[in-house]
Each structure stands twice: as structure tokens, then as C-alpha cells.
Structure 1
């Protein structure tokens, strides 16, 4: 079981990421931290294998957390960046510090799942290899450098709209704009606009669910072709 600590300053985003991780077999969320200091403490108390790490934290950034953990001489978990930081210097530094991957927000559940599954395969291979001969080392590097697959059905869409489509397509049941917004890392009105456009483009179907108030709630599903 791969133990994951989710680190994000936004409580709602951290919760959404934790729910996403918990859906995947072989992963266990051991905690959620909302600052660098809290994350450092939880690393010591929960001993995670992997950090799902945001760059922007209220006290110091995610890469500083990795540096502090390294300097402390204690456990330094593997880490996967999930961040809105797009500057090349952050990407280069993350690579230099050993980030398994760098996911730019907003991203879909499918994109996160792909990288977590890649990490799981990499970790299993690293743990079961009898020795670090050149063949094993080459295999481990190849597993880390494999580019993510892009679903062909979304190639004609603007990138964020394609991410919204992937979120809905990956959901186990009809999903609402609030849930989509949390996964996307955007506001509910923004998610609603993308969802409405995807309905108009006939990528999604609108499913009206009536709650306890009797008022319809808009839920969305991938259109069947």
C-alpha cells in the first residue's frame, strides 16, 4: 500500500485530491496538510511514501519543504507536484530535487490517476529489483519519463474544456458543477460555463436530479455515441 500525504493550502482542493487518491487501488491517504510546517510535522508522524505537493503554501513553498526535509536528515518521501506554478524555473528546480512528475492545475482525475499509477508501477519495480544493474536503472528511468497519454476524443477541445470533459467522463456517476470545480481547481461559475458549452457541443448530457427541496440539480454525464 502506497501511503500518500496531500499538501495544499486550499482545504477544498486538498479534500478533492484526497478523494481522488482514495479511489485508486493500492493507495492510502494518511493525512492532509495545509502549510509547509504542518506537512513537515505530518511527514514525521505518518511516514508517507509520496507527497501530493502544491507549490504555493502560506509559510514556505513546496520545494522549500523538500529542501527542509532533506536537510533534516530524516525521511524524504517521493513527491509529485500538483500546482498552478507554470514558470520554467520552478519546473527545473522540481526536476533537480527529484519530483516524480509535475502536474499543472487545472488537471483532470484521469491525468492524476495516470501519474499515480505510473508511480505505483515504478515503486513496485524499484522495490522488487534484485540489484541496481544497468538494465534495472534504465527501466526505472524509462518508467519515470513516459509521457502521459492524451485521449483522442478531447484533442479538438480547448485544454481546460478537455479537462472538464475528462472529469465528467471519469466520474463513477453523474457529477455536478460544484464537484467539477473542486477537482478542476476553479470556481463553480467557471466550471458551469464549461459544462454548459460541452452540453451544447453534444459532448455531455444533462441529467436533472431532484433533491429533498424538489428543485432540480444539474448533473452531467458523458454523452453516449
Structure 2
């Protein structure tokens, strides 16, 4: 379970976000904090894996809290920023401090769930051993950065891309570019290019499988 701490000065909003976390498979909310001081204590006492962090707090700001956690001894929790702060300086600072994502209030609970699902998948994919090639690195970044955009409609896809998506959907197990190329009579680079684009759009999920040599094999399943 991904242990999540919700930090928001608004008690009602914090309860809503905590309840949303509890409803998502693989997550549990270990507490709510409404000030910087409460958040510091909660991090020490509960050891969360993830913070849902608001930046506007009554006794300080979440950005300073994130900076302090990153500079402290030990491993800092991951962080998804949830804030009304829109200025680019704050966004840049959050990115520089390693925030996994930045959600600007107001947003829908569907968007929050989508981002948490993406974070869970990213965390699963980065927990394995072995080496990562550039395609793997790109895919891991895409998991977080592309998650807030809803998938494109099938009707807007090129015919070959739609055929590849349909083949992934009917496959009983995650499938790779080589297998799809053989099934559909296209080249492997073409299949891989469309799979990467479908993954970027959120239409398919990436599964990394590590063989004995440690190089990951990319397989895809329908989202």
C-alpha cells in the first residue's frame, strides 16, 4: 500500500482528498495535516510514501516544507502538489524540488484519481532491478507527465494506430511491438511508434518485464 499524507489548510478539502485516496486501490491515507507544523510531525510519526501537499498553509508555505524535507537526513516522501498557486516561479521551484506532479486548484476528483493511478504505476515500474534504456526512461516520465490528459477518441486516430489499439485490447495478456507487427503485417518500428503514442495518450498501459540480462522488455495492455 502507498501510504499517503494529505496536507491542506482547508479541513473540508483535506477530508475529501483523504476519502478519495482511500477509495483508490493500492493507497491508504495515514493522516491529515493542516499546518506546516502538523505536517512535519505527521511525516516523522507516520513515514508516508507520498504527500498530497497544498502550498498555502497558515504557519508557512508548502514549498519551504518540501525543500526542508528534501534536505533532511533520510529519504523524503514523494510529493504531488495540490495548490491554487499558479505563478511560474512556484511551479519551477516545485519541479526543481522533485514534485512528481503539480495539480492546480480547482480540479475534479477524476483528475486526482487519474494522477494517483499514474503515480502508482510509475512507482511499480521503478521498483524493479535492471537497466533502463532511453525508451524506458521516456516511458517512465510519460507515466507522470502525461497522466492528466484524457485519452484521445478512437475516431481521431490514424487507421493503423486504431488497428494496433484494437489488437492490444483483444490480447489476453500484455503484448509487445514485435508480436503486433507480425499479427498486423506492419514493421516493428511502426508498431512501436504507435504503441508509444497510444501510451502517451493514456490509451494503453506499459508493462516492463526484466529478463536475465537485465534489459526491460516493453509490453502493453489496454487501459
TM over 0.5: yes
Query: Does the residue aligned with 2:148 lie in a helix, a strand or coil?
Result: coil
Query: Does the residue aligned with 1:70 lie in a helix, a strand or coil?
Result: helix
Post-superposition CA distance 1:87-133 (Å, at most 9, x none): 11111111111111111111111000010000000000011243445
- The answer for the alignment partner of 2:42 in structure 1 is 42
Query: Where does structure 2 lack aligned partners over 5 or more consecutive residues?
Result: 154-223
Is the CA contact 1:22–1:28 (under 8 Å) kept in the aligned structure 2?
Answer: yes
Is the CA contact 1:129–1:136 (under 8 Å) kept in the aligned structure 2?
Answer: no
Query: Does the residue aligned with 1:127 lie in a helix, a strand or coil?
Result: coil
- The answer for the alignment partner of 1:179 in structure 2 is none
Is the CA contact 2:36–2:57 (under 8 Å) kept in the aligned structure 1?
Answer: yes
- The answer for the alignment partner of 1:60 in structure 2 is 60
- 1:71 and 1:147 mapped to 2: Cα distance? 28
The CA deviation at 1:11 is 0.9
The CA deviation at 1:148 is 2.0
The CA deviation at 1:136 is 3.5
Post-superposition CA distance 1:22-55 (Å, at most 9, x none): 1101000001011111111111111111100001
Distance 1:132 1:41, change over 3 A: farther
**Residues 23-172 of structure 1: pairs in structure 2 closer than 5 A:** 23-150=23-150
Question: What TM-score, normalized by structure 2, do the two folds share?
Answer: 0.64
Post-superposition CA distance 1:59-101 (Å, at most 9, x none): 1111111111122213311100111111111111111111111
**Residues 191-210 of structure 1: pairs in structure 2 closer than 5 A:** none
The CA deviation at 1:10 is 1.0
- The answer for the alignment partner of 2:10 in structure 1 is 10
- What number of residue pairs does the alignment pair up? 153
Is the CA contact 2:70–2:97 (under 8 Å) kept in the aligned structure 1?
Answer: no
- 2:72 and 2:32 mapped to 1: Cα distance? 21
The CA deviation at 1:135 is 4.4
Query: Does the residue aligned with 2:32 lie in a helix, a strand or coil?
Result: strand
Query: Where does structure 1 lack aligned partners over 5 or more consecutive residues?
Result: 154-225
Query: Does the residue aligned with 1:81 lie in a helix, a strand or coil?
Result: strand
CA RMSD of aligned residues (A): 1.9
- 2:132 and 2:73 mapped to 1: Cα distance? 24
Report which stretch shifted further, 105-114 or 71-80.
Answer: 71-80
Distance 1:22 1:52, change over 3 A: same
- 1:19 and 1:151 mapped to 2: Cα distance? 25
